[in-house]
Structures are given as structure tokens and as C-alpha cells.
Amino acid sequence: MNDTICAISTSQGIGAISIVRVSGEEAIDIVNKIFKGKNLSNVETHTIHYGHIVDQDEVIDEVLVSVMRKPRTFTTEDVVEINTHGGIAPTNKVLELLLENGCRLAEPGEFTKRAFLNGRIDLLEAEAVMDMIDSKTEAQRKMAANQIDGKTSNLINELRTDMVQIISNINVNIDYPEYDDVEEITNEVLIPKITKLKNKIIKILKESENGKIIKEGIKTSIIGKPNVGKSSLLNALLQEDKAIVTNIAGTTRDIVEGQITINGILLNMIDTAGIRETNDMIEAIGVEKSLKIMEEADLILFMLNNNEEISEDIMELIDRIKDKKYLILINKIDLETKIDKKKLKVDPNQIIELSIINDKGIDTLKEKIQEMFNLNEIEMKDPTYLSNTRSISILKKCLKRIEDIEKALKENMPIDMIELDIKSIWEELGTINGTTYEEELLDEMFKRFCLGK
């Protein structure tokens, strides 16, 4: 990890300014070799300097250079940032010169990886850096900010502190059973402590569902027979003519996507090809896609035509979505009613009537979605939730093990036999914020970062 790395940290393209970042032992020396204007070896930390990047006698660009000496930097190493004019050619040339003068090109996420390995941030905080870059909504940004700030890590640290207390209680008992003034830890004393811990984990996991909704949004697919008005709904929600709408059945053949927000939560809307038996090869592929998207959705908006009777294949499709979150939308209520709602055998609460061409029912649909996913209850001002799949799955595993311990204690399993188990859960919890970690996990995680971060 001693080599000096560099990368273009701003997005590749044309802009007013680009930043090329350098981090490592030789950062200042290397930049000094290609910088003309001042000797950077002696400058104060956290200062900015005007000058030129040169390739021997040739001036490459007029720049500003920030010098930040360790340890108060992002990576905790010496960091130099070169602000160039934001074009592709000057930025690439500066990078090229750095590489020629002793830097190595950073891997994606390597600056953040160094920040983690050097102990400046933990794993949850590192993951949040990427979430911050990816964030599209205010709620996503706030949640990432809280995680970068260590608030999410605190949730895990508190659990671990509780566990340390339990472990030390047990140890005192085992090591000094003769001490009178030490509370004797029996199964009866231990069970409520374990139950309390279990409940804390359950609460964090429950709330993490909100975190996932904020982070990933709700994958919503519009499904139904051809010509019922699926693409019209997408367009109405997006308030633009994104999908083609005609009165010809089979208009939509591939998926059409768009995003809306309800209560600050992102909904990824997917309009699909109408499902029917068809001899048209392209349409058939579209229908296959619709069925696949239906399986993967967090929410299915299943649309029917008020003006058509319910066929057998509609009933089969509704049967397929019964175990998922879904709403039945009956569109075209401006036309004569031929549909028999009772035949659907679904909770009337899950049925919404619409007339999209008259803008009727769309607000009710939005309210219903809000209600279904409890969007009103999601804390938006200060969201501190566990939100990534990795941490949630580790915590779920720990919960299962805590439940086993609780059961064993109730069945009078001796405490000293349980102590090791508790210790190993404590270690496993530590992998969430990286107190213990495996190299492979780090490689996998930081690979997903963008270059220069």
C-alpha cells in the first residue's frame, strides 16, 4: 500500500474544471516534478497554489494545486489535488505525466479503500461514500450523509457494546465464582438480557426495510392484457409522452421505463408489453419479458379494461401474483361497464378504478401506494437505517443465532457453553462495519466504486 496512486476524480467529459487526485508517500514530490510556479516541498498543509503543469519546457495547462499533508486527509496519506481546465485532453495529459513520474493508476474506489485500511472510516462509512455519489433523492442523500457521519455504525456498535457487557458478566462468574459481591449470572438472569438484545436487532432489521426503500426505490411494473391503457398510465404518471399509445393492441413490445417520486421515495415504473398469445415473434419476446418483470417487481399494477369481460387467462395471471404486493387497476370507467368485479375474488381495498384519459383515479393510486408501503412513516428528516444487502444479511444471521441462544438458555444449557457462541456473534457483527474483514470482501466491494473515489 506504499505506492503513490493517482486518478481523475471528476467525471470524464467537458466541464469548467477537472480534478486529478494523487495520494501516497511521494504525492508531493511527484507533483513537484511537473509543477512550475513554486516549490511544493515546503508549503504549509491544506494550502492552494497557482502555477503550471509542464512537460519539460512545454506548458500543459494552467492549474491550481491543493496540498494536504497527512494525516488530516481523506486517505490519511499525503494528498495533492490538481485542478486543471476541464477538458479531456489537458486532464489526460496531466494524468499521463503523473504516471510517467512514478504514480500508479488507482483502482476504482482505491482512495476510499485506503481511508478504510488506514482506519479513518469504517466499512459502513466507506459504503456510504458510494451511496452518496449514487443518490438521486433528498432522502437518499440524507441517509448516506448519516451513514458517512457514523450514525449507522453506532447502531451496530451499541449492539456490540451490549454483548461485551454480557460476555464480561459471564467471565467474571466463571473466573471468580467465589466473589460474593458479583451478581451471579444464572440462566434466569441472562435470558432477559439476551431477549433485550434480540429485540434491538429485530427493531433495526424492521427499520432497515425503510432504508432499502429509500435506497433502492420501489420497482413497480404495469402489467395487463393489450390495449387496456398501461402505457397511458405510465405517461400520465411521468407527465410526458414517453411510451407510444395507440388503439392497436400490441403497441408496446419492449419495456419502457421512467421514474417518479411519491413522498420523496423513488418509484421505478416499468411499462410492459400486453400479455397475450401471439404468433408475432417480436411481440412474443416482449410478452416473455413482461412475465419476467412481473416476477421481479416489488409492486405490480395489474390493469384491466372496464369495458371487457374477465377472461380465463386474466384469472390465471391474477393467481400468479397473489403472493406479491399488487393492486388491480380497472381503467376506462368512462366506458360501459362489462367487467364483473366479484369474479376477481380480490379484496375490494386492492381495486382502484381509473379513467386515465380523464385524469381520474391517478391521485387515489398514488395515495394507495403510499399507504401500502407506509411511506408516511418513513423518517425522512434524519434517516438512519441499515440499507445495504450485505449488512442486512449479516444481521439476519446474527438474529437467528441469538434466537438459538435464547432457546438453549430456556432449556437450561450451561452458561459457559454459551459464552463462546456469544463471542463469535460479537465477531460476526463486527464484519458489518469492518472491525474484522476478509480481503476478498474488500476487493469485491471497492470494485463497484467509480474511478478516482
Ligand X SMILES: Nc1nc2c(ncn2[C@@H]2O[C@H](COP(=O)(O)OP(=O)(O)OP(=O)(O)O)[C@@H](O)[C@H]2O)c(=O)[nH]1
331 contacts ligand X (rule: CB under 6 A): yes
137: phi then psi, degrees, rounded to nearest 5: -110, 165
Buried b (16+ CB within 10 A) or exposed e, 270-280: bbbbbbeebee
According to CB under 6 A, which residues from 340 to 359 bind ligand X?
A: 355-357
Which range touches Mg ion (CB under 5 A), out of 213-221, 249-257, 299-307, 424-432?
A: 249-257
316's grid cell: 390465471
**For residues 255 and 272, is the Cβ–Cβ distance under 8 A?**
yes
Q: How many residues bind ligand X (CB under 6 A)?
A: 24
Yes or no: say if 300 and 324 are a contact pair by the CB < 8 Å rule.
yes
CB of 219 to Mg ion, least distance (A): 18
Residue choice 21, 114, 151, 230 for contact with ligand X (CB under 6 A) = 230
Query: Environment class of residue 62 by beta-carbon count within 10 Å: exposed (0-12), middle (13-18) or buried (19+)?
Result: middle
x-marked contacts with ligand X along 259-298 as a string, rule CB under 6 A: --------------xx------------------------
Q: Which of 18, 220, 235, 252 binds Mg ion (CB under 5 A)?
A: 252
Q: Radius of gyration over alpha carbons of the chain, in Å?
A: 29
Count of positions (residues) in the chain? 453
* Segment interacting with Mg ion (CB under 5 A) among 73-81, 200-208, 228-236, 421-429: 228-236
Question: What cell numbers appear for 161 in the block?
Answer: 457494546
Nearer to ligand X, 336 or 440 (CB): 336
Q: Which is nearer to ligand X, 354 or 425 (CB)?
A: 354
Contact 187, 236 (CB under 8 A): no
The reply on whether position 140 binds Mg ion by CB under 5 A is no
| Residue 73 binds to Mg ion (criterion: CB under 5 A) | no
Task: Confirm if 405 and 194 have CB atoms less than 8 A apart.
Answer: yes
Q: How far is the CB of 148 from ligand X (least distance, A)?
A: 42
228 lines the binding site for ligand X (CB under 6 A) = yes
CA distance 72 to 95: 24
Listed residue (94, 70, 99) closest to 82, CA to CA: 94
Q: Are 219 and 213 in contact (CB under 8 A)?
A: no
Site for ligand X in 234-253 (CB under 6 A): 245-247, 249-252
| Minimum CB distance to ligand X, residue 245 (Å) | 4
**Residue 142: CB minimum distance to ligand X, A:** 36
Closest CA to 257 of 238, 283, 274: 238
Would you count residue 220 as binding Mg ion (CB under 5 A)?
no
The mark string for 23-42 relative to ligand X (x by CB under 6 A, - otherwise) is --------------------
Name the residue with cell 434466537. 403
321 vs 442 by CB, closer to ligand X: 321
Q: 421 is written with which cell numbers?
A: 457462541
Q: Which stretch binds Mg ion (CB under 5 A): 17-25, 150-158, 185-193, 225-233?
A: 225-233
**Which residues are near ligand X by CB under 6 A?**
224, 226-232, 245-247, 249-252, 273-274, 331-332, 334-335, 355-357
